[in-house]
Amino acid sequence: MKTNGIRIILIALLILGTGCQGTSQTGSSDLQRTPDIPVSKRGTVLEMVSPSEVLVEASGEYYGVGGSVRAKRNDVDSNGTDQALIDARRTAIYVILFEGSDPVLSTPQERAAFQQQSAYFYHPDSLRRYITYEDTLFTSRVLMEDGTAIRVAKRFRINKDRLLNDLSDRRVMVAREQLLSTAGTPILMVMPDARTGESPLAVLAGDTTARQAATVIQGYLTSKGYEIVVPEQTAELTNLIRSQQTMSSGQPDFAYQIALSIGSDIYLTFSGYAQEASFGTTRYVATVNAYETTTARLLGSETGYSKERKGDLMVSVEEALNDAVDKVLTRVMNYWKEDMQRGVQYKVIVSITPGLDSYDIDSIQLAFMDAVSDVALSSRELVLTNETIDYIIWVDSAIYDRALGVYQALKTAFERYGTGAVMGRSSMNRKLMQLTIDY
């Protein structure tokens, strides 16, 4: 009899409890309980472990559900750690996608597309694929709000490449390969940032650290599928540089000239130094800059720091550069995304026969301008003198897949305007066309 009584009371309590819980879930349905969206959104990228992996520390939160403080506490006691841990994993992904100065999803369109598919990316199965390592121990685990909520923090290693592949597969963002292809498979060049008047090639030849740094950056870029051109000290190159120098005034920018000469789309310069740190350790500080070759426009600049450690300088060099290169490349990618619509870029320098009268010069310049308008998707005039025209032009890569094609089109269009002048070429590579107009 007594047992039956206890049973009835227990069942009644259970029903009441379930009722309360149901009310609170459907009634308040806290924002924090919204599935598949990280609640905490607090995390830090600790380190680029490799070109494809990053070490992240992320926190996760869980807010207890229930009709009373006690019920919420019980919920946190029972489910809090597990749920907060899932949130921390989501936050780790979130941090890579949205946080920092160079998030993976940089445009509003990408972010909007991601919102549509966030459930897939934040699903525990997906998280398991992206997270290649998770600390056994929590960095911290703290109850909040009188025990009705919990926050945990852990370190994760995320395979960023897998995440990026999924993002492109699901058309959230354009795949890097596609982007590169659309941009005409751009070529990158890596050069040390030499002191004024010093040739980067000489620095490369004489400085072991610089050679190591160049190798690290080149290795990083090749692992990402970029096409790299390695400048070499050749007579041809020297001549090209010399010819560039004649056009510039003041101190020559060797890196720019080499890049231009060998036809890279973007060139990266790097510099660095070892700094004494605490407890007799050394820290390496590396700076990487990325420039658009045709204009020498700075696309991105970033500094990377190694850990302060004893010895192992080359490890520190690579560690610092990994950190910097990744961020700079993200900016370069963003630049390409924006530039994709504009087409493939060329720098066109035209030398006009000296000694012409102003009428002839005008007609030549106007005809050249018209020819550029006919051929290029867009253009920018940099220099216009009686003897020199310096232009940046963007052409459709689908129509003009090589510099010679562009040249041919320009020549045809220019000569069609009947100025009587003849267009020729003195040198040409995939980014630079040095042309002549003879009258």
Partner 1 sequence: MRKTLLLLALMCCLVSVPLFANVQGSYTRKSITALDSVWVFPQSRRLVHNEWAFDMDRFKMFLEHYIELPRFDYNEIPDSLKRSFSNKANSLYDIDIYNLTHLLETTVVQEIVSVLNDPDIQEARKRNFKDEASFQTFAATKAKSFGYTSDELATLFNSAYIYLPFISSAYVQRSEEGLDTVHINGGVIWWKIEVDEQGRTSAREVLTATTWAMSVIDYDRVVHQFSFGEVSWYVNPLEYAVSDAMVAFARNLSGKTRSLDDFKLQAQIVETSGRRLGFPIGRNEGVHLDDGFYIIGFREDSAGNAVPYEKGYARVTMTGWNDFDPTEITYARQIMGSRASLGDVMMENPRLGIDLGLTAGLLVGTRIDPIHTRYSGTDGIDATSTNQITLNARFAYNLAPIVNVSQLFVTMDVGVGFPLADSSVDASLNVLSPYLGVTKAFGGRIYAAATVGAGLDIVTIDYDEPLDEVSISHRAFGLKAEVEVGYLINPNLKVSLYGGYKLGLSPYSSKTELNGSHVAPPNSDDLQLGGVSAGIGVTYSLGSLPINIFGFLDPLKQY
Nearer to partner 1, 33 or 141 (CB): 141
# chain residues binding partner 1, by CB under 8 A? 41
Minimum distance, C-beta of residue 326 to partner 1, in the bound complex (Å): 11
3-class DSSP string for 356-399: CCHHHHHHHHHHHHHHHHHHCCEEEEEEECCCEEEEEEEECCCC
Q: Report the site for partner 1 in 275-304 (rule: CB under 8 A).
A: 277-281
Minimum distance, C-beta of residue 238 to partner 1, in the bound complex (Å): 37
Nearer to partner 1, 46 or 247 (CB): 46
Dihedral sign computed on CA atoms, order 319, 325, 328, 331: negative
Distances in Å between the Cα of 99 and the Cα atoms of 51, 96, 239, 252 are 18, 6, 46, 39
Nearer to partner 1, 280 or 354 (CB): 280
Nearer to partner 1, 63 or 256 (CB): 63
Look-up of token digits 């890196």: 255
Applying CB under 8 A, among 77, 177, 236, 396 the residue interacting with partner 1 is: 77
Nearer to partner 1, 77 or 198 (CB): 77
* Cα dihedral 214/287/292/333 (nearest 10): 90
Question: Which of 131, 170, 146 is CA-nearest to residue 53?
Answer: 131
How far apart (Å, rounded) are the C-alpha atoms in residues 203 and 208?
9
Total residues belonging to the chain:
439
How far apart (Å, rounded) are the C-alpha atoms in residues 404 and 44?
48
Which of these segments, 239-247, 284-292, 314-322, 392-400, binds partner 1 (CB under 8 A)?
314-322
Nearer to partner 1, 54 or 375 (CB): 54
Nearer to partner 1, 138 or 336 (CB): 138
Return the amino acid letter for 225: G
Q: Report the site for partner 1 in 129-168 (rule: CB under 8 A).
A: 133, 135-145, 147, 151-152, 155, 157
Tokens of 418: 């009947």
Minimum distance, C-beta of residue 51 to partner 1, in the bound complex (Å): 10
Q: Report the site for partner 1 in 30-49 (rule: CB under 8 A).
A: 47-49
Q: Report the site for partner 1 in 182-241 (rule: CB under 8 A).
A: none
Residue 357's CB is within 10 A of a number of other CB atoms, namely: 8
Residues that bind partner 1 (CB under 8 A): 47-50, 55, 77, 80-81, 133, 135-145, 147, 151-152, 155, 157, 277-281, 307-312, 314-315, 318-319, 322
